[in-house]
Amino acid sequence: MTVIISQKKLKKFEKEYHTLREQQEQQEAPIERYERENRRLQEANMRLEQENDDLAHELVSSKIALRKDLDNAEEKADALNKELLLTKQKLVDSEDEKRRLEEESAQLKEMCRRELDKSESEIKKNGSIIGEYKQVCTMNEFCTEITFNASIKKSSKR
């Protein structure tokens, strides 16, 4: 069996309940009513004290957690700052090393150019010496041949 109660009837029953409850409370002896009210207030007070304790504990816990997070963040920031300083120093050192190597490279290139020019000059000089030597050898051969031919003619004439 299903009972359906409309909202109007439900409100009416609620109103009647509260009215009856008030009448019962007024009919009670004032001491009983005060004792019941006192118990209700004490329970409410205990509940509020417990809630206050819970909130205080939660506040302290959250402050501790926040302080721990702050300490961790500060430590991380310090570590990152140290790493940044080291990285900056490495950058300065690397730039100095790069500049030094570029200067050294420029000096080596200049030295190689001088040596190359010197080698080219020596090659030209040696080429001209070799050309002159070949000329001298050719002339010497020619002279030797002429002298040889002349001596052969002299010996054959005799």
For residue 53, the one-letter residue type is D
CB 23 within 8 A of CB 31: no
Instruction: Give residue for tokens 């010996």.
Output: 155
Please write the tens of the pLDDT for every residue from 118-148: 999 999 999 999 999 999 989 888 888 888 7
Q: For residue 143, how many C-alpha atoms fall within 13 Å in the half-sphere facing its CB?
A: 6
What is the token pair recorded at 132? 């002159």
- Residue 80 tokens read as 């990152």
Q: What pLDDT, on the 0 to 100 scale, is given for residue 35?
A: 87
Res 118: pLDDT: 94
What confidence score (pLDDT) does residue 158 get? Answer: 60
Both tokens of 100, joined, read 């030094």
pLDDT in tens, 56-100: 999 999 999 999 999 999 999 999 999 999 999 999 999 999 999
- Per-residue confidence (pLDDT) for residue 58, from 0 to 100: 97
Q: Is 33 exposed, middle or buried (0-12, 13-18, 19+ CB in 10 A)?
A: middle
Two tokens, residue 135: 């000329």
In what helix (H) or strand (E) does residue 39 lie, and over which residues does it extend? helix 30-157
- Residues 47, 60: Cα–Cα separation, whole Å: 20
Residue 48 pLDDT > 70: yes
Query: What is the band of 110 on the pLDDT scale with cuts at 50, 70, 90?
Result: very high
Domain definitions of the chain by residue range? 14-117
DSSP secondary structure letter of residue 28: S
Q: How far apart are CA 149 and CA 158, in angstroms?
A: 14
